[in-house]
């Protein structure tokens, strides 16, 4: 009987942290996602992949300045490249990537940034990030899309800011 | 208690028992045979992949047989290892566990053979396009990549075949209850039935994807299909499938490993509670595989994240219960101290050692899983080789190495032949552990350096120098695992063909320190838990699925390989 009692004590001593640890994780996640703003992609809207050439903003893929230091990058993904394949962005700018696919599912991951999205035909993927450090960032299609999948690599070139202080 | 019945039987009684279960044993044996043939072929491609990463391309020499190169090999690796190997092993294993634990044969042996027949027919039908490079869509078969319809039809048959086992189990449970109206369901049978119930519920997702979207579309009956809807239905099944792989392993960890360790299961009630929680929580969390998907709202992603942390709880209960059982065994064998008892465990016993090593790597896999589940932290690792590193610890080791460990006693028991070399089996377990540890560690690291998964790295235009520094270690781990696999198959083939004939008894089911009498009877009544499970599924999935169906687009299929 005594042994059993000890067993229950051990069970409780394990169960309490087993509840507390996941809850602590969750709180941290909710704070970073909604207060710090490291958001995942959401439900942005649909688009007809066959009509991309006539559907704004995908009719003109590329980088657009919305305000000083604030950009929008419109990208299409297709077998086996991105349009545009290279984007040049001044350091310090905040960029919203708006991406869709013309054919199959692709991926869009910019190394050393939180930008990591699935690119699905018919859907618009959108994520925002700020580039602080100049340099070349590879963009990988990280979802198998066919025989040339490993060739599907793009680039973001972050140039030293012309007027970095003015942006801040 | 049913467990007391089995322990202590004489060899002669054991032989008689085996005679009663002749059909069940044949079915289990056949399922295991198909499973391990699949793993042999599928596993081989793992080594080719790791070598290809390092610029050693062995796909050219085999091009006359497999035209599709790296990606066809990867499709075979994924489909054969995690769809075919796991499913066939589990159906065989649960057939064995259910009938031995309840002490009665299959309720319908004809249905048992039909189960195996439908699954095997499905496998052969799906294998054809896979081998002809007409289904190089990987094991996730995301549309609009479009495979030969036979691939989808074959896989659907495999899934439908598995459902038949649950029908058999339910009929057996009825018979058993009629004969034992007051008794608690024996723990192993309880777990086997919970596993299959969870599996049948969660496969509604992939069944709907196949029947309503992919099969009509691949047959050309509809002009296109909706990729986000298909992904959502796929992951409705695709997350819980990992519990379909793990729960049968837990059945061994709870009911056999404590006995092999020389002790008892720590707590039967805690084990029952954890399985009921898996039944409830496994399915309504599948969108954690879609954190980075467009077309799904952040709120539902977050809800699924929260429930995912919920399912972490029964996993921790299992961890505690299993380790406490090991400690019980270690102390029963004279072990002392806080941790020194570990050395008193039967480390010379390959079946035991393989499964404990599997547990150790699984602990790391679980910790990594916590990171993957963490909503926005997932952005760092999603679809990088981190993920491949992760699931080689879980399904590739916790499941695969445990299944191998089980076969070290189960195959001798089924065939009546002694294991050919226990020493070789021990070396096999340790080499798998070391090889996978190395392989997986560096795959995780490469993932943190943004190396994409499902990618023929060796054929990229530029390979990052940081990756090049680490890639050789991936091949080192792979080669050690390859050696381990050769040892395994050699030992098994020799056991079956040349092992010493002997009536090898089955490992008796472990008894519990704290038995079922300490838990509420409502745990053995499935109805309330099923109601909760369905309610949670409806809450977590209905709004998204209804919206996706109403917005449905018809995206045409493409063959891009
Ligand atoms: C000899 C042992 C093994 C080696 C060397 C190995 C190697 C690999 C490698 C390098 C990849 C990544 C390929 C890529 O992302 O391009 C991979 C993927 C994978 N492996 Fe293994 N593997 C082995 C055994 C296993 C086992 C035993 C299982 C499960 C039972 C397994 C399941 C998988 C799965 C599901 C994938 C993902 C396939 C996909 O992304 O479509 N592997 N393996
Ligand atoms: Cu790709
Ligand atoms: Cu999952």
Number of domains present in the structure of chain A:
2
For ligand 2, the distance from its centroid to the CA atom of residue B111, given in whole angstroms, is 43
Task: Note whether A83 and A112 are same-domain residues.
Answer: yes
Q: Look up B392 and say whether it is catalytic.
A: yes
Quick one: chain B helix, strand, coil %, rounded to 5? 75, 0, 25
Report which protein residue has its CA nearest ligand 1's atom 23: B46
A98 and A34 in a common domain: no
Structure tokens of B76? 């075979």
Q: Are residues A60 and A17 in the same domain?
A: no
ipTM for the complex shown? 0.91
What's the CATH code of the domain at A111?
A: 2.60.40.420
* pLDDT band at A14; cut points 50, 70, 90: confident
Is B532 part of the contact surface with chain A (CB cutoff 8 Å)? Answer: no
pLDDT(A36) > 90: no
Q: Please report the sign of the dihedral spanned by the C-alpha atoms of residue B173, residue B176, residue B178, residue B180.
A: negative
Is the distance from the beta carbon of residue B383 to the nearest atom of ligand 1 less than 6 Å? no
- Cβ–ligand 1 distance for B42 under 6 Å, the answer no
Going by C-alpha positions, the residue among A101, A130, A100, A99 that lies closest to residue A114 is A130
Whether A61 and A142 map to the same domain: the answer is yes
One domain for residues A8 and A62: no
Residue with the bigger pLDDT between A23 and B128: it is B128
How far apart are alpha carbons B274 and B317 in whole angstroms?
Answer: 7
**Catalytic-residue membership of B541:** no
* pLDDT tens string B144-161: 999 999 999 999 999 999
Does residue B501 fall inside a structural domain? yes
Cβ-nearest to A147 among B305, B513, B560: B560
Nearest beta carbon to residue B294 from set A38, A49, A123: A123
| Ligand 1 centroid, distance to B81 Cα (angstroms) | 8
In a domain, B3, yes or no: no
Q: Ligand 1 pocket, B454 CB below 6 A?
A: yes
Rounded Cα distance between A157 and B434, Å, is: 41
**Residues A77/A110, Cβ–Cβ less than 8 Å:** no
CATH number at residue B194: 1.20.210.10
For residue range A138-153, what is the model confidence (pLDDT) as tens digits?
999 999 999 999 999 9
A contacts of B377 (beta carbons < 8 Å): 29
Across chain B, what does the average pLDDT equal? 94
Q: Which domain holds residue A20?
A: 1-38
Residues A92 and A151 occupy one common structural domain: yes
- Has residue B5 been placed in a domain? no
- Check residue B378 and give its pLDDT: 87
Q: Is the same domain home to A65 and A25?
A: no
B77 annotated active-site: no
Residues A53 and A31 in one domain: no
Is the residue at B340 inside a domain? yes
Residue B11's pLDDT is 59
Mutation target to probe the A interface, by most A beta carbons within 10 A, among B295, B303, B554, B556 is B295
Asked whether residue A57 falls in the same domain as residue A29, the answer is no
Whether residue A130 lies inside any domain: the answer is: yes
Q: Are residues A31 and A56 in the same domain?
A: no
- Residues A102, A141: one domain? yes
Q: What is the pLDDT of residues B198-238, one digit of tens each?
A: 999 999 999 999 999 999 999 999 999 999 999 999 999 99
What is the pLDDT, as a whole number, of residue B5?
38
CA distances from B338 to A82, B327, B335, B342 (A): 58, 9, 9, 9
Average pLDDT over residues A92-106: 96
Per-residue pLDDT at A3 exceeds 70: no
Percentage of residues in chain A having pLDDT higher than 70: 92
Q: Is B227 on the interface with A (CB under 8 A)?
A: yes
Q: Provide the pLDDT confidence category of residue B517 given band limits of 50, 70 and 90.
A: confident
Nearest CB neighbour to A120, from listed B227, B266, B270: B227
CB contact under 8 A, A105 and B142: yes
Q: What is the DSSP letter of B506?
A: P
Domain presence at residue A44: no
- pLDDT range class, residue A72, cuts 50, 70, 90: very high
Strand order in the sheet with A135-140: A86-90, A153-159, A135-140, A106-110, A116-119
Q: Are A39 and B376 in contact (CB under 8 A)?
A: yes
Is B35:B43 a contact under the CB 8 Å cutoff? no
| Cβ of B49 below 6 Å from ligand 1 | yes
Residues A22 and A105 in one domain: no
In this prediction, residue A167 carries a pLDDT of 42
Closest ligand 1 atom, residue B452 Cα: 15
Would you say residue B50 lies in a domain? yes
pLDDT of residue B3: 36
pLDDT digits (tens, 9 = 90+) for B345-386: 999 999 999 999 999 999 999 888 888 888 778 889 999 999
Does any domain span residue B2?
no
Please indicate, yes or no, if residue A108 is contained in any of the structural domains.
yes
Residue A74 lies in a domain: yes
Residue range B13-69, pLDDT digits in tens: 666 777 889 999 999 999 999 999 999 999 999 999 999 999 999 999 999 999 999
Looking at the DSSP bridge assignments, the partners of residue A96 are A72, A128
User: Does any domain span residue B560?
Assistant: no
Ligand 1 atom nearest residue B397's Cα: 27
> Quick check: is B561 in a domain?
no
pLDDT in tens, B380-436: 999 999 999 999 999 999 999 999 999 999 999 999 999 999 999 999 999 999 999
* Residue to substitute in B90, B396, B429 for testing ligand 1 pocket (most ligand atoms within 8 angstroms of CB): B396
Domain that holds residue B246: 14-550
Domain count across chain B: 1
Chain B environment of A137 (Cβ under 8 Å): none
Collect all residues of chain B within an 8 Å Cβ-Cβ radius of residue A15: 317
- Give the pLDDT of residue A165: 46
d(CA B280, CA B523): 12
């Amino acid at each position: 009987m005594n042994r059993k009692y000890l067993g229950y004590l051990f069970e409780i001593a394990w169960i309490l942290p087993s509840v507390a640890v996941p809850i602590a994780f969750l709180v941290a996640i909710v704070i970073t996602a909604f207060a710090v703003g490291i958001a995942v992609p959401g439900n942005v809207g649909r688009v007809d992949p066959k009509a991309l050439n006539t559907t704004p903003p995908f009719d003109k893929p590329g980088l657009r300045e919305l305000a000083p230091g604030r950009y929008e990058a419109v990208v299409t993904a297709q077998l086996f490249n991105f349009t545009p394949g290279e984007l040049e962005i001044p350091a310090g700018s905040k960029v919203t990537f708006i991406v869709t696919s013309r054919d199959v599912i692709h991926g869009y991951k910019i190394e050393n940034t939180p930008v990591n999205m699935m690119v699905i035909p018919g859907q618009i993927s959108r994520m925002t990030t700020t580039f602080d450090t100049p340099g070349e960032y590879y963009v990988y299609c990280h979802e198998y899309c066919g025989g040339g999948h490993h060739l599907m690599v793009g680039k973001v070139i972050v140039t030293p800011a012309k007027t970095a202080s003015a942006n801040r | 208690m049913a467990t007391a019945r089995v322990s202590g039987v004489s060899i002669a009684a054991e032989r008689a028992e085996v005679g009663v279960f002749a059909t069940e044993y044949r079915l289990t044996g056949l399922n295991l045979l198909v499973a391990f043939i699949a793993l042999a072929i599928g596993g081989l491609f793992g080594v080719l992949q790791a070598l290809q990463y390092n610029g050693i391309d062995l796909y050219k020499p085999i091009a006359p047989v497999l035209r599709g190169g790296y990606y066809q090999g990867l499709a075979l690796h994924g489909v054969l290892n995690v769809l075919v190997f796991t499913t066939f092993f589990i159906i065989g294993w649960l057939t064995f566990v259910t009938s031995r634990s309840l002490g009665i044969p299959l309720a319908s042996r004809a249905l048992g053979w039909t189960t195996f027949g439908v699954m095997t027919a499905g496998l052969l039908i799906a294998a054809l396009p896979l081998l002809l490079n007409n289904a190089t869509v990987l094991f996730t078969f995301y549309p609009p990549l479009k495979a030969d319809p036979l691939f989808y039809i074959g896989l659907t048959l495999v899934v439908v075949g598995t459902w038949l086992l649950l029908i058999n189990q339910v009929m057996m449970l009825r018979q058993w209850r009629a004969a034992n109206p007051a008794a608690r369901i024996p723990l192993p049978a309880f777990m086997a039935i919970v596993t299959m119930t969870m599996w049948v519920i969660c496969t509604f997702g992939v069944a709907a994807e196949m029947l309503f979207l992919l099969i009509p579309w691949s047959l050309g009956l509809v002009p296109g299909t909706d990729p986000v809807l298909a992904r959502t239905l796929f992951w409705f099944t695709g997350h819980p499938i990992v519990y379909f792989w793990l729960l049968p392993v837990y059945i061994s960890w709870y009911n056999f490993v404590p006995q092999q360790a020389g002790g008892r299961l720590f707590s039967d009630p805690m084990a029952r509670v954890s399985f009921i929680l898996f039944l409830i929580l496994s399915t309504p969390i599948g969108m954690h595989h879609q954190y980075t998907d467009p077309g799904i709202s952040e709120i539902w992603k977050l809800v699924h994240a929260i429930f995912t942390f919920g399912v972490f709880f029964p996993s921790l209960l299992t961890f505690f219960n299993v380790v406490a059982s090991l400690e019980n065994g270690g102390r029963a064998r004279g072990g002392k101290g806080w941790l020194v008892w570990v050395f008193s465990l039967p480390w010379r016993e390959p079946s035991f050692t393989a499964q404990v090593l599997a547990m150790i790597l699984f602990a790391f896999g679980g910790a990594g899983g916590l990171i993957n589940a963490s909503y926005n932290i997932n952005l760092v690792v999603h679809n990088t080789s981190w993920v491949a590193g992760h699931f080689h610890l879980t399904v590739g080791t916790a499941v695969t190495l445990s299944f191998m460990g089980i076969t070290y006693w189960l195959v001798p028991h089924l065939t009546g032949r002694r294991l050919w070399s226990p020493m070789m089996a021990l070396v096999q377990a340790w080499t798998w552990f070391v090889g996978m540890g190395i392989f997986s560690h560096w795959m995780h690291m490469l993932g943190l350096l943004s190396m994409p998964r499902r990618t023929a790295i060796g054929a990229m235009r530029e390979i990052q120098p940081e990756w090049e520094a680490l890639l050789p270690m991936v091949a080192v781990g792979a080669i050690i695992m390859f050696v381990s696999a050769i040892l395994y198959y050699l030992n098994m083939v020799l056991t079956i063909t040349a092992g010493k004939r002997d009536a090898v008894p089955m490992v008796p089911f472990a008894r519990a320190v704290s038995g079922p009498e300490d838990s509420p009877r409502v745990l053995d009544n499935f109805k309330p838990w099923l109601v909760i499970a369905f309610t949670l599924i409806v809450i977590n999935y209905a709004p998204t699925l209804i919206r996706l169906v109403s917005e449905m687009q018809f995206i045409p299929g493409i063959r891009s390989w």
